Structure 1
Amino acid sequence: MATGLVALLDDVAAIAKLAAASLDDVAGAAGKAGAKAAGVVVDDTAVTPGYAMGFTPERELPIVWKIALGSLKNKFFFLLPGALLLAAFAPWAVTPILMAGGAYLCFEAMEKIVEAVKGEEVGDEPGELALSSEELEKEKVQGAIRTDLILSGEIMAISLATVADRPFPIQAASLALVGLLITVGVYGVVGLIVKMDDIGLHMCRRPGTLSKRVGEGLVRGMPTALAFLSTVGTAAMLWVGGGIIVHGLHEFHLTPIPGIVDQLAHGASAVPGVGAITGWLVTAAASAVVGLVIGGVIAGALHLWHARKGAH
């Protein structure tokens, strides 16, 4: 009886060790995948606050909450099953899908750059002016969720490519963990951003010179902070999109461009003491240049096509 109990405890201990090892594998794979998707996360964080702006303060957080729920639905109901099906039945399609998404990010970034250069400002559309506040809120939330679907698709595809060599259960758990943590992180930061001016106003009303100064700084600094965040988001789209395309070209053995990027990064990495930082900066900058060219070609072709279509 004692021997049987000892054997049972040994089995339980072995199962516990196996479960712990599996959790370590999932955490490690999720961390690696999340790091690879960091650039898209920056873009997602930069884009989303704009959808909650222009509403009354009491509606800002509920709007962010609705978008966050839509993001979770995108990831867990559509993208996660789709990514796992790709990994199981068509792993060869992951790289082309990544490259297509990367090209879209480059195009979107180029469009933002063109708008900034031309000085175009996006105001209220005539259709929006005719909507009630509830209808406009619904429309904004739906637009944000559609944008999130594209960005979340890139996150899932990048994460899948990172853990493609792992067993299926590790892939599924890693993608689920990445999707959950990124959603919580992104929309937690977005919620803080959209309420920062309200926090500043609250601090301005509190007694004390320091509190008032900090509050005034938050209120006055938020427009600049949002503009900076938008610039960072655009840059992130370029270096992430360009980096995905460079990696895809390498996978297909189309080596001239990846070779140039690798040579530049290798040279920058040789700087004593700060090689890791300079290597990353040069890689990001070279990838951004590739993204700028790709985005410019796509944007130019689409504008030319629309111009000819309008002429006819």
Structure 2
Amino acid sequence: MIRFCSLFITLFISISFLSAQNHSKIKSDTLFYIPKIAFEHLYKKTDSIGFKIKGNDTLIRVSKVIKHKQSPGVRVAYEFKDSTFLKYYKKIAFQSYKNEDSIDTKPMKYWKHPIKVFFAKGIKNDVSKKVMSFLKTINEEVDSLSITQVKRLEDSNYTIYTSEDYQYESKMNTTNLADYHISWRGNNQIYKGAIRINNTKVTSKKIQILKIQEMFIGSLGWFKFSNDFSCESYFSDCYSDNKQLTKFDWDLLKYHYSYGICKGTTRNVFAEQHEKSKEMMKKYGKETKMYFLHN
């Protein structure tokens, strides 16, 4: 087992890690040949008793196979994505530092626990029903997300309200047509959210619904909107009164909440994990098994 998330473990004090298994060990009598990359991780230099070349691989000869002591948790297969998808994902999922000369980003954010939505009195019933229909679709389609509506504020961790309601979140931008705010813990897990609709500026119920849905999508991962997509996409940075969850929107949401990636990383760590994974697949073939271990 080869760890690739050791940097992630060090920075965020997490047990999750990416590991790879290669099944090209060759037994000769009581001796074994293992890939060089596995030898460097598991053995001392003095354990080597020879080597051989097989294709493009260097195999090191050892007298016994050392098994990696695996941490307890759920092992999930690494989810491969092509470079085009990852390029756009990195644009959306990672927020840059402002007024700082940083080549890296802030860590990605995500919801770990169920989202319980409360609608304030200023949100009309037909608006809340349309919004909840939209949210239920996301709840059904995206693994690891649980979204329900609650009737009491004290049971909620997500509040949707208007400029005429009690102002539940003081950090909202009150000049915008709509705004959202999320709070997260040190492990980058979001635990609270809110959306504010300025109903003195947004009087159309249809636009209120679209703005709430747009803000909610953004709050699922502190996502950035981009002008790389058609206006119909919820991740697009341009206005449309015909927003819809496109195939890319669905792919991105499902990927962000997949256990096939490490959560809470910065963009550089995320990119490093994928580069190492691609190197393993290129070196040892696409049949190489790679996993994330989630505790």
Question: TM exceeds 0.5?
Answer: no
Between structures 1 and 2, the one with greater helix share: 1
Q: Which has the higher contact order (CA 8 A, sep 6+)?
A: 1
TM, length-normalised to structure 2 = 0.22
Between structures 1 and 2, the one with greater strand share: 2
